[in-house]
Amino acid sequence: MTVDTIRPTRRGFLMGSGALSFALLASGAATILPAGAEAQPLPDGRVTAWVTITPDNRMTIMFGSAEMGQGVSTSLPMIVAEELDADWSTVASEQVSSDPEGVYGNPMAGGVLFAAGSSSVEGYFTYLRQAGAQARQILIQIAAAHWDVPAEEVTTHRSTVLHGPTGASMTYGEVAALPDPVWPSGEMPEAELKPRADWAIMGTDVERLDIPGKTTGAPVYSIDVELPDMVHAALLLPPVEGETPTLNSDAAARAVEGVVDVIVMDHAVAVLARSFPAALAGRDALDVGWTETSPFRMANSADELVALAEAADDMSADAVVWESRGSGPADFAAAGVVTGTYTTEHVYHAQMEPLNAVASVDADGMGAEIWLGTQSQTASILIAAAVLGTTPDRIRFHAMQMGGAFGRRTVFAREQMRDALLLSRASGRPVKVIWTREDDVKNGWLRPATVQRLDAVLDAEGYPTALRHRIASPSIFQFAMPDRWNPETRRDLLVMEGAESAEYAFGTFQAEHVLLPRQSRLSAWRGIGWAPNCFARECFLDELAGRAGTDPVSYRRRLLAGSPRALAVLDAAVEMSGFGTAPEGRAHGLAFAGYKKTLATGVAEVSVEDGQLRVHRFWAAIDPGMVVHPQAYRAQVEGGILFGLSSVLRERSTFTAGQIDQSNFYDYEPVRIADIPEIEVRFVESGEPPSGGGEIGVPMTAPAISNALRRLTGEGSTRLPFPAQQA
Amino acid sequence: MVNLNVNGRAVEVNAAPETPLLWALRDELKLKGTRYGCGAGMCGACTVHIDGQAAFACQMTIGDVGGSEITTIEGLSETGDHSVQQAWIAEQVPQCGYCQSGQIMRAAALLARNPRPSRQEIVDEMSANLCRCGTYPRIIRAIERAAQEG
């Protein structure tokens, strides 16, 4: 990552607020922006720095990943505060909206602002500890200079600098109020950062900074933004992707009280009104025809499932090798090879805040102010600049906290923002675009269906000497991130990750991807490839264990023997659940699953009553390396388990002739509170660096439930969602 | 123009009587804590109290509720210290937060009617409200806490 040095003109920013600010440069060096005579008002009220300390001893810590419920507005500042030796009760946090200097990006995401794939704490961990440590060193050096003592004699404790020999002390706020600028810099070696045993903030269950506000209705999401003279837009979207409208008549729409304008776009017809209900009423009154020539008129999800199944079985079909280990090709056509086939259907994100955006385009049409909930501020700003044909510096961007995202807000096209920009430019007014829930469901970017075929060559004891995991699916990556798709290698990590089975010793192993053309819009969904891929593998392994006449725990223990971390979570889940000792009429099922560096084992306890599957309890043992914020991590795991349960019970998007058949929560219904099991989560820390928790709840859940069902009834589910008579 | 009683105050709303209460609260009265989630009475993000009973603001018009006492999340307590709100903080319930106004309003109405609900009564009542983040386990714990401490 490259970074410009901090421009001198910014030195004045903080002076105006009588505050100190610290920025961590890419080199690892810190720069101080001292209080002084150059007092200037804060431009846009923002400062490009990680930490601001005011004379009242309050501090604000910036965070780069967008808050969508995962708790980064607390967990990331905890990392800075730990090394800064801050008094946590003085800390507030603030979302970074843009990063023109390249200071705030996630090192794990190529240095851009991008929150996805459970990467925030993992990616920022070292970088933010260095930022906190360097800020602390700066405070020490200012205090040492003020006291005229050696800096080596100055220590810190809970937002206080101390000089033992003289007994002098100052709060960080008092240091921040000192007039003398100091410009220390230098690397902060990782080895000098606090070891786990010295953590005082990380690893504790501090309350999330965003929760009090979320109990009073106070949070402002982009859907809540209001501007003077703003109009609300409802869009009549194409019935099938890619079709264009012909406006027959807008007379009735324009006659609706409150309607301001009707604007025909390439891909939609927009009704602008003084209120959203008026915009909706105007939309209902439009008379619009569509080209009806989209190739997706031929797209049917039922047909796609058949085609995927055929491709998975057709060994002459072209397959991209994703992962290959072991000693050469195995004969999967030989007698005795065991085959299992698993199907996962399309699912929709169903984030609770319907997608929306607010934009106000400048009079010259070449700049704009934007309010958007997005998993990538960086990508959104670039998209906005491209829409207007301008440069990113003309985009004033407000990254808003999100009412859920789950992968829907990662994609490199932001239709609502694009349309808000185009409509604001056309109308000369600020515009808020809201998709109704029906718009959101019917224009979903779905996790694609997959058909997964596993073949195993078994030894005399029933253990694999060779295993092939073949996944037929269209490419998410090619569609959602076309600029970054490599058509030569065709490696789609959004579909294939999780198929590596890296902890398992299968002898010869190959994971491969049979790519079919997409039949719908596609994007990643919480759990990404790991959820469908671990479902297939873990169900298959229980089948193999059953064939071998071995229990699923010892069968896995032997295959996982080379991974102490995997064995630790497996054993912990077995112990905490009392695996295999379910009450009468119930059964336990188990699945081992990872998400990148995080490892987990889940155990489900299920029954079937009156034909209804019921998950009563779920135990999860997780190795996230180390846990920065345990209670928030636990919340992520709970939420991930319920996402997985939801994919078992009901979630399914289907489409007919290119149109998604579902409309709203009455025919696409995520889990409700009555569906949930008792959940128990235990951390099994290995001491590795922290790894993410947003996805890890999902991949283990469906296979654990299926395996429990199999042990209860003799037959698990090979499909997600489970067939209706089981679910 | 419709006259309403919202959070203990008489207010005039400059909108037609058939305007959904949800949008009148949000866009006319600027009470944004009541959320739009589905517009179909399926998710509960818009839950408010009508004469003390939990109700979907998206499913009624302002003409329907002119004679009623309407309470939104902003009016549940003066300083955010209703026993349900306190329990929500103690149990660290919210994640994205979007559905939580509605969850809290429904929980508060339940406890007002039934101060010691059973686990099953909590689940039955709260099944009207969706939470996609999966905060349900903590919602149950928070309601049980509020019932004990409230």
Single-letter residue type at A610: D
- Position A260 scores a pLDDT of 98
Question: So what's the pLDDT on residue A187?
Answer: 60
Asked if A681 reaches chain B (Cβ–Cβ under 8 Å), the answer is: no
Of A69, A639, A679, the CB nearest to B97: A69
Q: How far, in whole angstroms, is CA B106 from its chain's centroid?
A: 5
- A80-135 per-position pLDDT tens digit: 999 999 999 999 999 999 998 888 999 898 888 999 988 999 999 999 998 888 88
Enumerate the residues of chain A whose CB falls inside 8 A of the CB of residue B134: 638-643, 671
Residue A626 φ/ψ, nearest 5 degrees: -130, 155
**Under 8 Å between Cβ of A409 and A373:** yes
Cβ-defined contact of B89 to A676 (cutoff 8 Å):
no
CATH number for the domain whose boundaries are A301-347+446-720: 3.30.365.10
Q: Give the closest residue to A264 by CA, choosing from A284, A287, A242.
A: A287
Find the radius of gyration of the CA atoms of chain A: 28
DSSP track, A158-221: SSEEEETTTTEEEEHHHHHT------------GGGSPPGGG-SSTTS-PPPTTHHHHTTT---B
Q: What pLDDT is stored for residue A188 in this prediction?
A: 73
> Does residue A9 carry a pLDDT above 70?
no
DSSP 3-state assignment of A281?
helix
Q: Domain span at residue B133?
A: 83-149
Q: Among A54-58, A205-209, A658-662, which is the least confidently predicted range? A: A54-58
Q: What is the pLDDT of residues A574-628, one digit of tens each?
A: 999 999 999 999 999 999 999 999 999 999 999 999 889 999 999 999 999 999 9
By the 8 A CB rule, do A697 and A636 touch? Answer: yes
Please choose, from the candidates A696, A530, A541, the residue with its C-alpha nearest in 3D space to the C-alpha of residue A622: A696
Distance CA B99, CA A639 (A): 14
Q: Quote the minimal CA–CA distance from B91 to chain A in Å.
A: 9
Q: What is the pLDDT of residue A726?
A: 58
pLDDT of the residue at A142:
85
The tally of domains found in chain B comes to 2
Mean pLDDT of A427-433: 98
Task: Report yes or no: A647 and A720 within 8 Å, Cβ to Cβ.
Answer: yes
Picking from A206, A214, A676 by the largest number of B CB atoms within 10 A of its own CB, the best residue to mutate is A214
Instruction: Label residue A181 by pLDDT band (50, 70, 90).
Output: low
Helix (H) or strand (E) holding A530: helix A530-548
* Interchain CB distance below 8 Å, B138 and A436: no
Query: Are B48 and B104 part of one and the same domain?
Result: no
Asked if residue B87 and residue B138 are part of one domain, the reply reads yes
Q: At which residue do the structure tokens 């128990």 appear?
A: A680
Interface A:B, Cβ pairs < 8 A: 165
- The pLDDT tens digits of the residues spanning A219-271 come to 999 999 999 999 999 999 999 999 999 999 999 999 999 999 999 999 999 99
- Within 8 A of A673 by CB-CB distance, chain B residues are 123, 126-127, 129, 131, 136, 139-140
In the predicted structure, residue A18 carries a pLDDT above the cut 90 = no
Among candidate residues B41, B74, B107, the one where a domain is terminated: B74
Same domain, B58 and B89: no
Q: For A344-378, what is each residue's pLDDT tens digit?
A: 999 999 999 999 999 999 999 999 999 999 999 99
For residues A81 and A63, give the distance between their C-alpha atoms in angstroms, rounded to a whole number: 12
Determine the longest span between alpha carbons in chain B, in angstroms.
44
Q: CA-nearest residue of chain A to B136? A: A673
Going by their DSSP bridges, the two strands B69-71 and B47-50 should be labelled as: antiparallel
Q: Considering the domain A8-214, what is its CATH architecture?
A: 2-Layer Sandwich (3.30)
The answer to whether A628 and A78 are in contact (CB under 8 A) is: yes
Of B47, B74, B101, the position where a domain reaches its end is B74
CATH 3.30.365.10 residue ranges for chain A: 8-214, 222-292+355-434, 301-347+446-720
Nearest C-alpha neighbor of A58 from the set A209, A200, A266, A245: A209
What are the beta bridge partners of residue A357?
A: A433
E strand intervals along A523-661: 587-595, 598-609, 612-623, 655-656, 659-660
- Say yes or no: B54 and B94 in one domain: no
Mutation for B interface: A210, A232, A352, A649, most B CBs within 10 A: A352
- Regarding whether B58 and B33 lie in a shared domain, the answer is yes
Each residue's pLDDT tens digit, B80-95: 999 999 999 999 999 9
Minimal-distance CA residue of chain A relative to B78: A216
> DSSP assignment, residue A56?
T
Tokens of A346: 């399309």
Tokens linked to B87:
């329990």
Angstrom distance (rounded) from CA A721 to CA A248: 42
A21 pLDDT tier (thresholds 50, 70, 90): low
Q: Does A94 touch chain B (CB under 8 A)?
A: no
Per-residue pLDDT band for A138 (boundaries 50, 70, 90) equals confident
pLDDT confidence of residue A102? 85
Q: Quick count: other Cβ atoms within 10 Å of Cβ A255?
A: 10
Residues B8 and B69 grouped into a single domain: yes
List, in sequence order, every residue forming a beta bridge with B70; answer none if it has no partner.
B6, B50
Together in a domain, B88 and B70: no
- The C-alpha atoms of residue A49 and residue A59 are separated, in whole angstroms, by 12
Residue A27 has what pLDDT?
Answer: 34
In this structure, are residues A59 and A86 in contact, taking their beta carbons and an 8 Å threshold? yes
Residue type for position A229: D
Q: Tell me the CATH number at B141.
A: 1.10.150.120
Beta strands in A438-573 (DSSP E): 450-458, 464-473, 508-515
pLDDT at residue A15 tops 80:
no
Output the six-digit token pair for B136.
Answer: 């349900």
What's the distance, CA A119 to chain centroid? Answer: 8
Give the pLDDT confidence score for residue A727 in this predicted structure: 56
Q: How many residues in chain A? A: 727
B6 CA: distance to closest CA in chain A (Å): 15
- For residue A700, report the phi and psi dihedrals to the nearest 5 degrees: -80, -20
CATH of the domain at B63: 3.10.20.30
As a whole number, mean pLDDT of residues B108-116 equals 98
Task: Write the CB contacts of A191 (distance below 8 Å, at least 6 apart in sequence).
Answer: none
pLDDT at A47 over 90: no
The whole-angstrom distance between A257's CA and the closest CA on chain B is 10
CB B33 within 8 A of CB B74: yes
Q: Are B33 and A679 within 8 A, CB to CB?
A: no
**What does the angle CA A108 – CA A501 – CA A558 come to, to the nearest 5 degrees?**
130
d(CA A291, CA A296): 12
A690/B contact by beta carbon, under 8 A: no
A159 falls in which pLDDT band (50, 70, 90)? very high
- pLDDT tens for residues A483-507? 889 999 999 999 999 999 999 999 9
pLDDT at A241: 96
For A222-292+355-434, the fitting CATH number among 3.30.365.10, 3.40.50.1820, 3.10.180.10, 1.20.950.20 is 3.30.365.10
- What separation, in Å, do the N-terminal and C-terminal C-alpha atoms of chain A show? 49
What mean pLDDT is predicted for residues A684-705? 97
Q: What average pLDDT does this structure show over A444-464? A: 97
Minimal C-alpha gap between A604 and chain B (Å): 16
Burial class (CB in 10 A: 0-12, 13-18, 19+), A564: exposed
**Identity of the residue numbered A646:** S
Which member of B32, B36, B42 has the closest CB to residue A666? B42
- Partners of A403 on chain B (C-beta within 8 Å) are 35, 96-99
pLDDT band at A49; cut points 50, 70, 90: low
Contact B40 A402 (CB under 8 A): no
Q: What is the pLDDT of residue A17?
A: 36
When pLDDT is cut at 50, 70 and 90, the band that residue A399 belongs to is: very high
Q: Is the pLDDT of residue A435 over 80?
A: yes
Q: Which of A49-58, A579-588, A601-610, A649-658 has the lowest mean pLDDT?
A: A49-58
Q: Say whether both B68 and B92 belong to one domain.
A: no
CA distance A88 to A493: 38
pLDDT of A339 strictly over 80: yes
| Angle (CA) A215 A220 A222, round 5° | 140
Comparing CB atoms, the residue among B26, B96, B101 nearest residue A69 is B96
What's the pLDDT score for residue A671? 97
Cα separation, A250 vs A245, in Å, equals 12
Which residue, of B74, B91, B113, is where some domain finishes? B74
User: Distance between CA B111 and CA A368 in Å, rounded?
Assistant: 47
pLDDT computed for residue A3 by the predictor: 26
Q: Give contacts of B 119-148 with A, CB under 8 A.
A: 123-124, 126-127, 129-140
